[in-house]
Amino acid sequence: MHSNTETSADNMSISSSPRVMTSSMPHAESEGPTETMIRIEGFNAWYGDFQALHDLSLHIPKNRVTAFIGPSGCGKSTLLRWINRMNDIVPSAHARGTLTMGELDILAKSTDVVRLRRQIGIVFQKPNPFPKSIYDNVAFGPRLHMKLTKNQLDELVQWSLEKAAVWDEVKNRLHSPAMGLSGGQQQRLCIARAIAVGPDVLLMDEPCSALDPASTLAIEDLIFELRQQYTIVMVTHNMQQASRCSDQTAFFYNGKLVESGDTETIFTKPQEKQTDDYVRGRFG
């Protein structure tokens, strides 16, 4: 993690800035399913006296899509929000255990949360574009964290929108209000905004639940594309979506991790009866 939150234009690199400046840049190759990006061990979380998560242990692999599944209230989104410290804004929320990304202790009081959220971006259930132009939505983070020339910023905005598969739809109205886009376009814009600052991890909390089928398909195709370059963790209630989009699946119930493994195994040969009942739709 960089100690300086600003990146000069002269010192931009693949690791310290978005993988940008050319839309034809090759995708990062996966370094194998056993390489861990985020390590969770003995993790517990509370809202006041209510314990929402119980003794979770899970390794999230690099450059893969990990799906969190389970019924409402089982702790999926709570864990997702602890991964980039979004729960810091909830006064009663507190956690204990191991939650690391490489050498970074995510839970440590000394961790710079602003830089953490640059490394670990999040896309929410409902599209939440800023009340700004399409261009300014994407440029917001880079303007805050980097020192770029106008041409570099233009290239970065275009690169991000291309990676989010929405460039062709908005390129002729970049300075129009983002709120004028359709729901699916807004969600892809939010993804472009998240990747513009060069994260390593992209969290998605029910990214398609508010979208129509065509927009859902576009987001799912995008997730498949982005996993080559980013580690993606998504929460979903849609079993078909989890089976289509993810490489690894973790099933939660009542704040506990019941079972995790490669997605094909979880959906076809789960080890736990509770998992089998859930993926077959017997409850949930």
Tell me: the pLDDT tens digits for 193-247? 999 999 999 999 998 887 888 888 888 989 988 988 999 999 999 899 999 999 9
Q: In residues, how long is the chain?
A: 284
Evaluate if residue 5 carries a pLDDT over 90: no
Contacts of 43 (CB under 8 A, 6+ apart): 53, 55, 56, 57, 79, 82, 95, 96, 97, 98, 99
> Among 117-121, 127-131, 224-228, 264-268, which stretch is predicted with the lowest mean pLDDT?
224-228
CA dist 150 and 156 (Å) reads: 10
Strand ranges across the sheet with 36-47: 50-61, 36-47, 93-101, 104-105
CA dist 105 and 94 (Å) reads: 15
Evaluate if residue 46 carries a pLDDT over 80: yes
CA dist 32 and 62 (Å) reads: 8
* CA angle in degrees (0–180, nearest 5) for 130-246-209: 40
Question: Does residue 154 fall inside a structural domain?
Answer: no
Which residue range is the domain that position 54 belongs to?
33-128+199-279
CA dist 230 and 232 (Å) reads: 6
Question: Does residue 189 fall inside a structural domain?
Answer: no
pLDDT attached to residue 20 = 37
The stretch 29-44 carries a mean pLDDT of 78
| Partners of 154 in beta bridges | none
Evaluate if residue 42 carries a pLDDT over 70: yes
DSSP code per residue over 79-132: HHHHHTTGGGGSTTEEEEEEEEETTEETT-TTS-HHHHHHHEEEE-SS----SS
The stretch 133-148 carries a mean pLDDT of 94
Type of residue found at 262:
D
Question: Does residue 274 fall inside a structural domain?
Answer: yes
Number of domains into which the chain is organized: 1
Contact 236, 55 (CB under 8 A): no
pLDDT attached to residue 18 = 43
Question: Does residue 146 fall inside a structural domain?
Answer: no
Question: Does residue 150 fall inside a structural domain?
Answer: no
Evaluate if residue 30 carries a pLDDT over 70: no
Question: Does residue 173 fall inside a structural domain?
Answer: no
* CATH number of the domain where residue 233 is located: 3.40.50.300
Contacts of 24 (CB under 8 A, 6+ apart): none
Question: Does residue 7 fall inside a structural domain?
Answer: no
Contact 135, 177 (CB under 8 A): no
Tokens coding 39: 């390590």
Residue 33: helix, strand or coil by DSSP? Answer: coil
pLDDT attached to residue 284 = 67
Question: Does residue 227 fall inside a structural domain?
Answer: yes
- Helices of type H across the chain: 76-83, 113-119, 134-145, 150-163, 167-170, 183-195, 213-226, 239-245, 263-268, 273-279
